[in-house]
Amino acid sequence: MTEYDNTRSEKPAQNDDLIHTDNTPNGQPSHNMDHLAVQEPVLMLEHLENENHAAPTQPEDALLNESADEAAAAKKAKKKLLKEQRKAKKEPKVQPEEEPVLQLGTAKGVETMFRNAFRTEMELLALAATKANIMISLNGFIVSALMISGAFIFSTSPDFLVPAGIFMATAASSIVFALLSASPERMGKMRATVEWLKDVFKRKASLRDFKTRVYEPEVHFVDESPNILIYEDRVKISKDRYWEMMQDIMANREEVYKKMSDELYWLGSLANKQFKYLNMSYAAFRWGLLISVLAFITIKTLPNVVPSMRADKAAAELRNLGINSFTGLYEPSAVQQLPDGRLLVVEDEHSRAASIVSFKPDGTLDENESIDTRIVRGFKRKLSDLEGLTLDNDGYVYAITSHSRNREGVRRPDREHFIRFKIRGNEVVELSSFNGLVDILESSDQVEQLIRSKIGTMLDFKTINIEGLAYDPNKNRLLLGFRDPEFSDKSMILYIDNPKEMFEQKAKPNFVDVAFLDIKGGGIRSINYDAVLKSYILTNEVKDEQGKKFPQFWLWNGEPTSEAKPIDLPNMSHMTNVEAVDSVKVNGQNRLIFMSDDGDATKNIGGKYMIVEYDKF
């Protein structure tokens, strides 16, 4: 063996040791080609070359070609490895990522954030307080104005009561919500009061618990522990504890930020409560205004559409003028105040011939249908078309029917009654009557002479219609006022000086005088002696230039030769066919009462009445 061969044989052995053996801690060989390539790339290349030299013997040309190829491949691999090593040295080593640490930021940035946030919250609280103050002032003014002027408004416009009442109630509720917005902590006391009342009714609490549950409840903080930066917590702790907690907060920066964040959250919650109640205040005002306007429009519109409501509206308008309506009296034709203060009212219809009404404390009239039935039955006769009432000095009531014929010109007995009686309690007593008045008027020479002496001719009593009856307390005589017959638009009044003898002794009436009064036509609808004015009040009905009828009132001293003087009464144009007049005492005050015969029983529309003070007459 040559020296070359020995050298080749030694090198493979050495390389083989490098490639296939690695001393482990236990001295055991470890085959790890990859480790060798990483640690000693140059040795690996030499090893590959030695393997090529140690290959089995082949033909020399083939061996040379194969050796050249292997050398080229080894050289190429070597360059590649060297290039990768240089590249690895140039690239920085990547450190393993660590979990990021949360940073709060700079102190200045945090302070700026808190400053802006606190400023925003304080501005919101100030805005809510300003709006609450506006709502309290506005609604307070509305409620005060309605309470002060309400009496005058309601007396003239009763239909304004409903919308005004709605507006006043909603304005008051708006004030309550605005007050809660200004001090939302009060809502907690209200809730505590409600819960306490519930427990009281359920017998789970007593009245003694009010102090501990409502007035001075157990101390609770906004959070589990008090935050001295929050007002509600700060006022619940002592000064010493406050100072201790302040020191703890100032010693820890993160604790400062936490407490400030809690305070900021508390301010936001407070602003939310204020705006919640403020929205309720606005909603109450808004909906109250809308509902009151709709109610006012409805009240003003519906009466023009619904007939029954139209009548109610007309009655309400008349009440504003001092004119009231009856509910069960439809055609009052005469009225007389009785000694006990009640009023006796008669009507044309025989089934409702007489009624007793009394004054209420407010001056209006109170009707009683059960009493009326007893009075009508007490007359013991059918009385149709009662037209006149008067009272003498002895307390006797005189009543007279019209004595007129029906439309066919036929006399009817139920229309020819002249009676005298007293009302004791609810009974008719001492009843007496006089019959045959029409026959006497038509055949009496005394009546004819009186009439001819005044007008130079005789009147035809076939058209007789007596609607006025008065008693002269000074001369103890009766005055009969005639609607018909008339003479040249002058109305006739006959004087009878023996009324007592007529009813007690059945004597014929003694006509002592006659008067013809120029009251512009229409005939006498009512005549009544007024003890306050010491004169007679007469009524008739005339037409204006447009042909519309209206009542006219006159004062007359009772002398046949005297003229009647016209009197204007306010608001009387709203009453038609006034046939009942009397001087009455209302709660101790002298008044005049007027009643109109303009009701309709078939339509359930009552007659009207008006009470007037003497200074307006």
Contacts of the segment 105-108: beta carbons below 8 A, 24+ positions apart: none
Higher pLDDT, 73 or 94: 73
Please state the pTM of the whole predicted model. Answer: 0.56
Is residue 266 a contact partner of residue 230, using CB atoms and an 8 Å limit?
A: yes
Number of other residues whose CB lies within 10 A of the CB of residue 163? 21
The answer to whether the peptide bond before residue 217 is cis (omega within 30 degrees of 0) is: no
pLDDT of residue 446: 94
Rounded to the nearest integer, the mean pLDDT of the chain is 80
Query: Vertex 211, ends 206 and 213: CA angle to 5°?
Result: 75
Higher pLDDT, 72 or 274: 274
Q: What's the chain's Rg over C-alpha atoms?
A: 59
pLDDT of residue 460: 92
Q: Is the pLDDT of residue 26 over 50?
A: no
Q: Is the dihedral of CA 513, 519, 523, 525 positive or negative?
A: negative
The DSSP code for 364 is -
Mean pLDDT of the 475-502 span: 95
Higher pLDDT, 180 or 355: 355
Distance of alpha carbon 175 from alpha carbon 132, whole angstroms: 9
Q: What is the CATH number of domain 321-616?
A: 2.110.10.10
Q: Is the pLDDT of residue 55 over 50?
A: no
Contacts of the segment 350-353: beta carbons below 8 A, 24+ positions apart: 350/382, 350/383, 350/384, 350/414, 351/376, 352/328, 352/376, 352/601, 353/379, 353/383, 353/384, 353/386
Mean pLDDT of the 500-504 span: 95
- Of 85-99, 172-186, 499-513, highest mean pLDDT: 499-513
Higher pLDDT, 606 or 31: 606
**What are the residue ranges spanned by the domains of the chain?**
3-86, 111-302, 321-616
Mean pLDDT of the 22-44 span: 42
